[in-house]
Structure 1
């Protein structure tokens, strides 16, 4: 029960009988939920319990005679409350901010209920403090954002790691195991849907002599040059793999024999024109390129690569530009 009151001339009259009002106050004063009782006409506070005083950082007795609706920060929410109560309706739950002492604002949930007594109407306000919950949600939201960013980073690292393990670091081609795996799946799909699929092999000839006479750097440069020329000629749907030190494999979905032959001739022409420089001067690349159709018959990718190798052709390179011969 309130221990301090304003002078009687400032305190609005209660529509309830004094005994009835004291009983209502006694019931609500100990409630852990903030409660206020207001007059229905002007919404002046007739009673405020200790929990409401804690939310607003004010002694409950000092609230008597105020209009609690004037502490609603949102003008739109305040107008909604006045409109509903004016029509005799309840309000809420309504999430809004109340102005507390020193103009601070606290998030609350308001529920207003008109209550009939033997002597008239009063409006019962239930005010739930949302401030701590909002702070918790903000902290939780910030934590979830950090966790989401961490997961994104881990996914990115996982993709990078997967790419690193699937691709040859020297050439960017698929490593042998991954190339065979994806190529086999492509062959299975081509046979099932009766589509063309061609397989090419590209072999860098004289790899060991290049290593021995031109140096390791020159041999790596030669391998990268062959890989680069192949990659420039391929589509995104094609598969390009590094089979061993000097051999590459290519799977070409939807490509028939004539188209594969044209690609073979184009690679032979472009690669035989390449001039590289090693420890003992410039040298021309020598490559062999073969192709086969792999969609006909139940053959594995390894068997198709073997057939393509058996049909490899070589285009004799021209001498380097600065050769005098």
Structure 2
């Protein structure tokens, strides 16, 4: 929301006083795998769902920069003003990372604000090993990052970063004299309440500060790398066991999606009905394991890519899974799937 509202104000500062009726029709662009918050915010701020353009993704679930470029050009020719592109680092279902550098080049060519939703994988910037997944982040106009998603900082704790100094102030401030007097006896530069919509907040940033202070740069990097190591081990174990099939041949982040195919469904023609049945198997396995209380897994589907319900394991650093623990999880899935 902050990214979109600030991008709109940057292009049309009169919106603050005159409202949305003074503006032309605008559009925002995001990956078809992006979080639905993009549509929610477009609805809330008066853009409308019809003006959210979802861009197709490649076989890894990453936004296609060429398709984005064409969509922005098409909107411009139709008299619609492209106001913001939302790229994603760690999509909610597949954990995919958009190519930020290529998307940023498209945005710069069209003079469109680039916001990056790094809720899930923003923490990779702390690791020399994995920060390449966000190559080009320096070209973004704004970034949202939740240290909860990968580092396990307790909710709520989210960071919003913006490149242009002073823009949040001019966009949001109302200078309520009963709150934000400028003649205080201390430096008022840190009175950031007038930059925000909520004005006052809990000091959630303290959680991240304390954790970082305790672990240091090296310790924080190790947390990131631990989550990725767990996901890689799970993927390796999954591929050598009978009946398991990964949703993607290679995962970029800490989410591993997979199907379990019971023995009676193997060596059959993989028709549409067969895949529908496998989707039901995933749902049934999740239900069984949850009610048993042994393992809790996500169950996802990607209708736009024709992917039926699949199971998903997400690793983070707050509760590392041992190699033995991974084997136990897989054994539980096999038992639940074979005995349906």
Query: TM-score normalised by the shorter chain: which range applies?
Result: under 0.3
TM-score (structure 2 length as normaliser): 0.19
* Structure with greater strand percent: 1
The structure number with the bigger radius of gyration is: 1
Q: TM-score, normalised by structure 1?
A: 0.19
